[in-house]
C-alpha cells in the first residue's frame, strides 16, 4: 500500500440499509486520521455513481476528495449533499483529466454513461488509481478487450466492475445451493427482464444545449449529435452510441448469474437471436424493446427473454432467473430465492428439499465493501474485468446480431471476430471522435 495506509475497520452499516437513515449518524462520527484514510473521487455524479460514492462514505476512513461532472447543476448539488451529509468538501472538476492529476486520490468511481467507461478507466489506471467502474464494463467488444488487457498490464491496480450481484447474499446463496447439488444437474437457466423504461422516453424536439452543460464532453468519443433531453441524463441507455438498451442494462447483471452458476468465463461461441420493436407507440429509442436470445453451451443452455414497456413476468416478478435442474428449479431475484422440487413419479415424493427465503436488500453496499477490502488486501475483487467482459460479451453479441439482422452469430474469441457475418464484424470496434483515440492495449 506504500504511501496509502488505509486500514479497514469494522463496517458501520449493513449494506442496503436505507441510506437516508444512516447518513446523519455517519456524518457525525467521521473523524478520520490521515494515516487511516482512503481518498475516493467520483466521475459522473448524477445517479448510480453517487449512490456508489455514498456507500463508500458509509465506511469509516473513506473520504470524498473530488467530484467531476460535465453538468454544473449536478456537480454543485452533489457537492452540497456531500457537505451536508458527510461534512466533506471535495474539489470540483468538469474535466476528468484534471481530476486525475490530483495526487491524493487513491481510487476513482466511474458513474458516467457506458461509452465513457473504457477511456476513463484507462486514464485512471495510467494515473495510478484503483477503479470502481459501473457496468456494463464498456459499450463495445473492442473496449472490453482493451480494458482486460490494460488490467493485465496494470496488474498492481484493483478494478471492480459494478456487477454487484456478485457480492450479494441472495445470489451467493443461490450459487452455493446450485453447486452443492440442491437442484441436481443444472441443465437450463431461463432469464427474464421486463421493464417499462426500456421503451425510452416520449419523443421531444432537439434544443440548444442548456447552460452549465459541457455537452461536447458528455459526447466525448461518440459521434457529434444535437442536444435532446430524451437522449441525455438517464435516457442515453436507449441509443447505440452510449448504451445497449435493456439488453445490456439488465442483461449484464442477470446473464452474469447464469454464467456464474457454471463458472463460465468465456464469451458465447454462438447466439440465436430475435430482436424487434413492437411497442404500440413510437418512443425516443434506437435499441430494441423485445429480445429473445438462446445461448447454447456445452451440456447447458441459457435463455434470455426481454420485453420493455411492460412490468410483469414469470413467478410474479418483472425480472429474475429460473435455474432448472434435474431435481428442482431454483428461482431467484435480488431479494428472494425459492426452490420448487421436482416430483418422483406416481408417489409424488419431492426429489429435493423445499427451500425459500426473502432477503429484501440491494447488494451495492456489499460490493463496495469488497472493493475497499481488496484495496486494503490487494486481492482480486468479486467482479474483476474478465468477469465483466464475459457478461458484457453476452449482451453485445446479441445486440450486434439484432442490429445487423443476423438470427445467428458465431464468435471466434481467439481471432476476435465473427466467422459468419462481415456486417457484424464492423460493429466490434467503435470509431472514436477527435480528439479522443481508442486506447491501445
Ligand atoms: N449497478 C447498477 O445496478 C446500476 C444501476 C444504474 C446504473 N448503472 C450504471 O451506472 C452508469 C451511470 O448510469 P446513471 O443511471 O447514473 O446515468 P446518468 O445519466 O443518470 O448519470 C451519468 C452522469 O455522468 C455524467 N457524465 C457524462 N459524461 C461525463 C464526463 N465525460 N465526465 C464527467 N461526468 C460525465 C453526466 O452528466 C451524469 O451526471 C451507467 O454505466 C449505468 O449502466 C448501474
Are 290 and 398 in contact by the 8 Å Cβ rule? The answer is no
Task: Give Cα separations from 225 to 120, 143, 203, 310 (angstroms).
Answer: 21, 21, 16, 30
Nearest CA to ligand 1 atom 21: 46
Convert the pLDDT of each residue in 346-378 to its tens digit.
778 999 999 999 987 789 999 999 999 999 999
> What is the predicted pLDDT for the residue at 12?
24
3-class SS string, 204-263: CCCCCCCCCECHHHHHCCCCCCCCCHHHCCCHHHHCCCCCCHHHHHCHHHHHHHHHHCCC
Containing 339, the helix (H) or strand (E) segment is strand 336-341
> What is the predicted pLDDT for the residue at 344?
84
Nearest CA to ligand 1 atom 7: 48
Ligand 1 site, CB within 6 A: 43-49, 68-71, 74, 96, 111-114, 116, 134-135, 162, 164, 217-218, 220, 233-234, 249
Q: How confident is the model at residue 8 (pLDDT cuts 50, 70, 90)?
A: very low
Q: Rounded to whole angstroms, how far apart are CA atoms 287 and 38?
A: 39
- Torsion, Cα of 63, 68, 74, 80 (10° steps): 30
Mutate to test the pocket of ligand 1, among 112, 162, 362 (most ligand atoms within 8 A of CB): 112
Convert the pLDDT of each residue in 115-151 to its tens digit.
999 999 999 999 999 999 999 999 999 999 999 999 9
- Ligand 1 centroid – CA 228 distance (Å): 17
> What is the predicted pLDDT for the residue at 362?
81
- Ligand 1 centroid – CA 46 distance (Å): 7
Are 333 and 195 in contact by the 8 Å Cβ rule? The answer is no
- Ligand 1 centroid – CA 42 distance (Å): 11
Q: How confident is the model at residue 291 (pLDDT cuts 50, 70, 90)?
A: very high
User: SS3 for 325?
Assistant: strand
Nearest CA to ligand 1 atom 23: 44
The single residue listed with the C-alpha cell 414497456 is 309
The grid coordinates of residue 216 equal: 461536447
- Ligand 1 centroid – CA 288 distance (Å): 21
Q: Rounded to whole angstroms, how far apart are CA atoms 236 and 419?
A: 31
> What is the predicted pLDDT for the residue at 128?
98
Q: How confident is the model at residue 15 (pLDDT cuts 50, 70, 90)?
A: very low
Convert the pLDDT of each residue in 246-278 to its tens digit.
999 999 999 999 999 999 999 999 999 999 999
Amino acid at each position: 500500500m506504500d504511501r496509502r495506509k488505509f486500514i479497514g475497520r469494522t463496517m458501520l452499516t449493513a449494506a442496503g440499509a436505507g441510506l437516508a437513515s444512516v447518513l446523519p449518524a455517519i456524518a457525525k462520527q467521521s473523524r478520520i486520521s490521515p494515516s487511516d484514510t482512503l481518498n475516493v473521487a467520483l466521475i459522473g455524479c448524477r445517479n448510480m455513481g453517487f449512490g456508489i460514492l455514498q456507500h463508500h462514505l458509509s465506511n469509516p476512513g473513506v473520504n470524498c476528495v473530488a467530484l467531476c461532472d460535465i453538468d454544473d447543476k449536478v456537480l454543485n448539488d452533489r457537492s452540497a449533499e456531500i457537505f451536508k451529509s458527510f461534512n466533506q468538501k471535495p474539489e470540483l472538476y468538469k474535466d476528468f483529466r484534471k481530476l486525475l492529476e490530483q495526487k491524493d486520490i487513491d481510487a476513482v468511481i466511474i458513474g458516467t454513461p457506458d461509452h465513457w467507461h473504457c477511456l476513463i478507466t484507462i486514464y485512471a489506471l495510467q494515473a495510478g488509481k484503483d477503479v470502481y467502474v459501473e457496468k456494463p464494463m464498456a459499450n463495445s467488444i473492442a473496449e472490453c478487450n482493451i480494458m482486460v488487457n490494460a488490467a493485465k498490464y496494470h496488474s498492481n491496480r484493483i478494478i471492480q466492475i459494478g456487477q454487484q450481484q456478485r457480492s450479494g447474499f441472495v445470489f451467493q446463496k443461490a450459487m452455493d445451493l446450485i453447486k452443492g447439488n440442491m437442484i441436481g444437474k443444472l441443465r437450463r437457466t431461463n432469464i427474464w427482464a421486463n421493464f417499462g423504461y426500456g421503451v425510452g422516453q416520449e419523443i421531444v424536439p432537439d434544443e440548444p444545449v442548456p447552460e452549465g452543460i459541457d455537452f461536447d464532453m458528455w459526447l466525448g468519443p461518440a459521434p457529434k449529435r444535437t442536444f435532446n433531453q430524451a437522449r441525455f441524463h438517464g435516457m442515453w441507455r436507449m441509443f447505440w452510441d452510449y448504451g445497449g438498451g435493456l439488453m445490456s442494462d439488465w442483461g449484464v447483471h442477470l446473464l452474469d448469474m447464469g454464467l456464474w452458476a457454471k463458472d463460465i468465463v468465456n464469451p458465447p461461441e454462438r447466439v440465436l437471436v430475435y430482436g424487434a420493436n413492437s411497442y404500440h407507440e413510437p418512443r425516443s429509442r434506437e435499441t430494441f424493446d423485445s429480445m429473445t436470445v438462446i445461448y447454447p453451451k456445452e451440456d447447458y443452455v441459457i435463455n434470455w427473454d426481454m420485453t420493455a414497456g411492460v412490468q410483469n413476468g414469470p413467478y410474479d416478478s418483472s425480472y429474475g432467473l429460473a435455474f432448472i435442474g434435474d431435481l428442482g428449479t431454483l428461482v431467484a431475484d435480488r431479494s428472494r430465492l425459492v426452490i420448487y422440487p421436482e416430483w418422483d413419479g406416481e408417489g409424488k415424493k419431492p426429489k429435493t428439499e423445499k427451500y425459500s427465503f426473502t432477503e429484501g436488500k440491494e447488494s451495492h453496499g456489499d460490493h463496495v465493501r469488497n472493493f475497499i477490502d481488496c484495496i486494503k488486501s490487494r486481492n482480486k475483487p468479486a467482479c474483476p474485468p474478465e468477469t465483466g467482459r464475459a457478461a458484457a460479451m453476452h449482451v453485445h453479441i446479441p445486440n450486434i446480431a439484432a442490429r445487423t439482422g443476423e438470427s445467428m452469430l458465431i464468435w471466434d474469441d481467439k481471432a476476435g471476430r465473427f466467422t459468419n457475418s462481415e456486417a457484424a464484424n464492423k460493429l466490434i470496434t467503435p470509431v472514436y471522435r477527435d480528439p479522443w483515440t481508442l486506447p491501445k492495449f
